[in-house]
């Protein structure tokens, strides 16, 4: 049976403990128990989360586990020497070491992420990179696997991380069954963006939201201001003014953002040619798509495709 150690500390984020539920449901879905989950802390006993909920833990002893997962916290603080020492022992003694959300700070502080690709919650990624410049930080990934070290984005991305761990161990069918029983989408790919253009735009009125939803569902069309204004039941002039006030962008820029997001998702899925992606997302040709990708991501679609292939090969 695979031993899973989940490391907590005073002030840890309670949501990260959903990781334990993934392995619990996997034990049911796989037909026989495959995992034993143990809660760990430096001194053992009761440990209080940032929400005030306490859990009982075992103190650090043997570092030999199948997988050790480090939780994150709402407030990042320096780690104790005992925690860092234990994690360095885990790195060599256990099969996998993982972090959830800002738990990546702890792995970085221990030196475990030096020279490795990693991710964390998007709001903390640049600060982590500044503090630990040896880390190859990618702030826009759901989770990243680099050798035996796994890191995930923030909050509910721990579900994607743990479903991926289960899939690696027990296969895709068991992972899908776990996701279904937990009433969540089957895990997002590690390369999927943490961001959503629809969420970033944050329209305040139903009319502008309707126009954006229309655009997202008709990306292959021309999507003129007149067409979007009609969807919003406004005149083109009223629509353009209201759109900029609510989103801070012009309609044309917002449509390009939606197209780039959709194109990136298709490219990372790896099942479509660049020509088909450009056509279906409304770029008309690959050169226009390439220019839009460089404006948005600072790199062409081919680079994103190569990165996705590399990730999937790991």
Residues with active-site annotation? 101
Instruction: Name residue 144's beta-bridge partners.
Output: 151
What is the Cα–Cα distance from 46 to 161, expressed in whole angstroms?
26
Which CA distances in Å does 158 have to 32, 103, 125, 165, 224?
Answer: 23, 11, 16, 10, 40
User: Is the Cβ–Cβ distance between 311 and 144 less than 8 Å?
Assistant: yes
- Cα within 13 Å of Cα(115), Cβ side: 1
- Write out the H or E segment, with its range, that includes residue 47: strand 45-48
Place of tokens 């996705």: 308
Please, is 137 exposed, middle or buried when counting C-beta atoms within 10 Å of its C-beta (0-12, 13-18, 19+)? buried
- Write out the H or E segment, with its range, that includes residue 144: strand 143-146
């Amino acid at each position: 049976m695979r031993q899973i150690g989940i490391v907590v500390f005073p002030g840890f984020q309670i949501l990260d403990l959903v990781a334990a539920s993934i392995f619990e449901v996997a034990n049911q879905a796989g037909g026989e128990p495959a995992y034993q989950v143990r809660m760990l802390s430096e001194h053992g006993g009761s440990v209080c989360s940032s929400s005030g909920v306490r859990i009982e833990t075992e103190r650090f002893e043997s570092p030999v586990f199948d997988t050790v997962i480090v939780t994150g916290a709402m407030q990042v603080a320096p780690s104790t020497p005992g925690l860092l020492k234990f994690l360095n022992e885990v790195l060599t003694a256990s099969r996998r070491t993982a972090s959830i959300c800002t738990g990546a700070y702890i792995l970085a502080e221990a030196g475990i992420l030096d020279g490795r690709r990693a991710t964390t919650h998007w709001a903390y990624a640049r600060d982590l990179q500044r503090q630990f410049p040896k880390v190859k930080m990618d702030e826009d990934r759901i989770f990243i696997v680099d050798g035996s070290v796994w890191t995930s984005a923030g909050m509910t991305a721990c579900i994607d991380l743990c479903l991926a761990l289960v899939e690696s161990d027990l296969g895709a069918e068991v992972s899908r069954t776990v996701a279904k029983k937990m009433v969540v989408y089957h895990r997002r790919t590690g390369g999927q963006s943490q961001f959503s253009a629809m969420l970033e735009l944050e329209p305040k009125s139903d009319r502008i939201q309707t126009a954006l939803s229309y655009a997202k569902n008709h990306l292959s069309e021309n999507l003129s201001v007149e067409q979007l204004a009609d969807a919003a039941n406004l005149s083109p002039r009223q629509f353009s003014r209201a759109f900029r006030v609510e989103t801070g962008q012009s309609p044309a820029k917002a449509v390009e953002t939606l197209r780039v997001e959709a194109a990136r998702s298709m490219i990372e899925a790896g099942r479509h040619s660049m020509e088909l992606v450009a056509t279906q997302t409304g770029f008309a040709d690959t050169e226009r798509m390439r220019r839009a990708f460089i404006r948005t991501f600072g790199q062409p679609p081919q680079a994103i495709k190569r990165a996705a292939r590399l990730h999937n090969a790991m």
